[in-house]
Each structure stands twice: as C-alpha cells, then as structure tokens.
Structure 1
C-alpha cells in the first residue's frame, strides 16, 4: 500500500523556536517520511507521508509543536506520494 502524503503550511510562532528540528525528531519517532522547511513569510511548510494512522498522530503533534512554539493555523493541501523520500529531512 502506497503511503498518503499531505502538504502543510503552519503559521504562528514557528520560526526561531526549534520547530523544524522537533518536527524531524517526531517524524522519525513515528516513521513519517518527507521534509520540513521555513518559508520567507514566517510560516513553516512540511510534506509528511505515511499511513493514515501515523499521519493523524503527526498532525496532532503539529497542532501544538514544541514547547516554545505557538501554532495559530495549519493549511492542509494534498500532496502526491513519492518514493523519493525514504526518511525525514530538514530543507534549507
């Protein structure tokens, strides 16, 4: 079964608080593949891929993020599953 992927754009206090690092750590813990990066407008963008159950856990975590973050909104967009991502990466 091919994993499902979501593209998320997370807004709030999500840059300068370790959001990408902690997102990567949580993704690795859950077995999620994909990537996370900062956007120039202050948001964080992430592509997460995995089974429905694992993606639900990752989305729950992203709604709060790490302790110093404040998540105000998450925009959810569909993403095409790809076999390119075999791990979870922080993009610069």
Structure 2
C-alpha cells in the first residue's frame, strides 16, 4: 500500500473553535500522520499522509469541521516527499 500526502487549506470560521484538535483526533483515528496549524490569515493548514481511503475520510471531515466551525472553502493539493511522524497540532 502506498502512502500519499495532501496539504489542505481550510477557510471560514476555523480558528478558536476546536478545529485543529478535532482534526488531530480524526487523523489519529484514521492512522494518518501530519499536522494542523493556524495561519496568520485566519485559515487552518493541514498536512496529512497515509492511505488514500483514510485521506478521503479526513478531507470529508475538513469540509464539515467540528460543530462550532463554519467551513467556507477547502483547497487540497497533493504533496510529495513529506514524511511526518505522528499527527501534531502546531
């Protein structure tokens, strides 16, 4: 099985609403590695690496977000050469 990586930028009401921690919990349940971090423009960046089916499930979660979030836009791009260990909130 081949590991793939994606970098996702999520905009909307995604900071201060438990978005990064919820993303970490989802990613860990799915066996993904990477990180979630706030960006200075108010968006959240997520790097996730793992099996394509798990990445698809995480991407679906990112479109929804946790209950208090309001996701406006999700931009996904494939990433090469990323090898994170574990899933961290930065």
Q: Which TM-score bucket, shorter chain as reference?
A: over 0.9
Deviations 1:20-50 (Å, cap 9, x if unpaired)? 0110011111111101100000000000111
Segments of 5+ residues of structure 1 without an aligned counterpart are none
Match of 1:88 in 2: 87
Query: Under a length normalisation based on structure 2, what TM-score does the superposition of the two structures give?
Result: 0.94
TM-score normalised over the length of structure 1:
0.92
SS of the aligned residue for 1:63 comes to: helix
User: Which residue of structure 2 aligns with residue 54 of structure 1?
Assistant: 54
Q: Which runs of 4+ in 1 moved over 6 A?
A: none
Question: Runs of 5+ in structure 2 lacking a partner?
Answer: none
Cα RMSD over matched residues? 1.0
